[in-house]
Amino acid sequence: MRKRVRQIQEQVIARAGETFTSAIRAAMNPEKAAADAQQVRDEYHGLPSDALADVLIRRAARKTKWEGAASGLGVTACEALLAAPAPEPTHKLAAGSGVAALLLGDIAYTTRLQMQLLLAIADLYGCPFERDDEEDVYTVFKTALGLKGTERVGSYSRFIFTETARKQFRRLLHTGIRRAVQDRVVKIAGPRIGAYLGEKSLMRLVPVANAAIGYAFNNSVTKSVGRWAKVKAKVRASAFQHMRQIEDQEPAALVWILPLIFHVGTADDKLTENFLTLYSQINKRLRLDQRQQRQVEWLIASDQLLQIFTEALPQIATKRTRNALYDIAITTAAVNLEVRTSLEECLAQLAKCLRLDYSRADLKDKIQYLRR
C-alpha cells in the first residue's frame, strides 16, 4: 500500500514538473531574442559584444521600470478605495485582490521579459539557449528570477571531505543533473516569488511613493539579471569555443575536457549551480563515441586523477589543444567570480601537466573578463 502511495506521489510530482516546464518553455521566444540581438548588431555595427549586451540590458530595464511605475500607480488607485473613514467590506476585499493581482502581474511581466533578455544576450555571444532542452529552460528561468548561479548546491556543499559524498556526486554527474536542476527550481520558485511579493509590498506601506518604488525595484532587478546573463553567456561561449577548437585540431583530446572540469570544479568545498550547469552543458555537446564515453566515466571515477593528468596530458601533441584545455580549466575555476588559493594551486598543477607557463594572473584575468 505504501509503495502504491509513493508511486502516485511520484507521478503527481512528475506531472507537476512537466506542467511547470511547459509553462516556462511557453514564455521563451528564441526567435524574437535572436531578432533583438541582430537588431542591436545592425544599429551599433562594430561595437563589442559587451557593449551590445549593455544596450539590451538598458532597453529591458527601461521597459520593466516603467511597468513597475504603472503597477505602483495601480496599487495607489486600489488603496484609494480604503481612504474613506469607514470603508465597506467589499471595498477592502476589492482593494486587497486588486493589489495582489497587480503585484503578481508585475512579477509575471518582468520575469518573462528578463527571460527574453537572457535569450537575447546568449544569442549575442553565439551560445543560444535551446527551448527544447529542459536544463536550458530551467537555467534561463532561474537566472530570470535573480539567482546568480554562485549559490551552493544543497547537501553537496561540503561533499569533498567524504568518499560517500564523492560517489553520490559522481552519480549525479552521470545520471541526475537535469532532475536535480528541476527539483531545485521547483523548490525555489515559490519562495523566490514570495520574497519578491514581500519586497514589492513595501509599496503598500508608502502610498505616496508607490510608483517610485516600483520603478526603482524593477530597474535594479532587471539590471542585476542582465549582468548575470552576461557572465553565463561568456562562460558558455568561452567553453564552447575551446571545445570546438579541440574537436577540430585533436579530437582524441576531447576525453580530457569533462575530467578537467570535474577536477577543477571539485578543487575545494564550494559546489555551485554555475559549476553543475557548465559541466552539463559541455557534456551534452561533446561528440564522443561509446569507447570515449566509457573512458571519461572511468577517469572521473578514478581517485588518482591528478596522477593520470601528470602522465597523460604532456602527451597531447599540439600546444593549441593544450592551451584550449587549460582555458576550459580556467573558465571552470572562474565561474563563481572568486579567486581562491585552492583553485590557483589546482591551475598551477594543471599548467605543469599541460607543459604550459602558469601565471597567477590567469584566473584573475578570466574573472575580470566575466565581470566586464
Contacts of 326 (CB under 8 A, 6+ apart): 347, 350, 351, 354, 356
- Delimit the domains of the chain by residue range: 2-130+189-226
> What pLDDT was estimated at residue 76?
64
> What pLDDT was estimated at residue 372?
86
> What pLDDT was estimated at residue 132?
81
> What pLDDT was estimated at residue 155?
46
Query: What is the grid cell recorded at 309?
Result: 593528468
HEC string of the chain equals: CHHHHHHHHHHHHHHHHHHHHHHHHHCCCHHHHHHHHHHHHHHCCCCCHHHHHHHHHHHHHHHHHHHHHHHHHHHHHHHHCCCCCCCCHHHHHHHHHHHHHHHHHHHHHHHHHHHHHHHHHHHHCCCCCCCCCHHHHHHHHHHHCCCCCCCECHHHCCHHHCHHHHHHHHHHHHHHHHHHHHHHHHHHHHHHHHHHHHHHCHHHHCHHHHHHHHHHHHHHHHHHHHHHHHHHHHHHHHHHHHHHHHHHHCHHHHHHHHHHHHHHHCCCCCCEHHHHHHHHHHHHHCCCCHHHHHHHHHHHHCCCHHHHHHHHHHHCCCHHHHHHHHHHHHHHHHCCCCCCHHHHHHHHHHHHHCCCCCCCHHHHHHHHHHHC
pLDDT digits (tens, 9 = 90+) for 261-286: 989 988 876 777 788 888 888 988 89
Flag residues of the chain having pLDDT under 50.
Answer: 5, 8-9, 12-13, 16, 86, 91-95, 155-162
Asked if 214 contacts 203 with a C-beta cutoff of 8 angstroms, the reply is yes
pTM: 0.78
Q: How many C-beta neighbours within 10 Å does residue 119 have?
A: 26
> What pLDDT was estimated at residue 108?
75
Dist CA 327 CA 270 (whole Å): 21
Q: Which residue is associated with the grid cell 533578455?
A: 117
> What pLDDT was estimated at residue 359?
92
> What pLDDT was estimated at residue 208?
52
> What pLDDT was estimated at residue 198?
55
Dist CA 363 CA 372 (whole Å): 14
* Residue 250, Ramachandran bin (φ over 0: left; ψ between -120 and 50: alpha; else beta): beta
Dist CA 104 CA 268 (whole Å): 40
> What pLDDT was estimated at residue 274?
84
Nearest to 137 by CA among 151, 125, 122: 122
Sign of CA dihedral 18, 23, 24, 29: positive
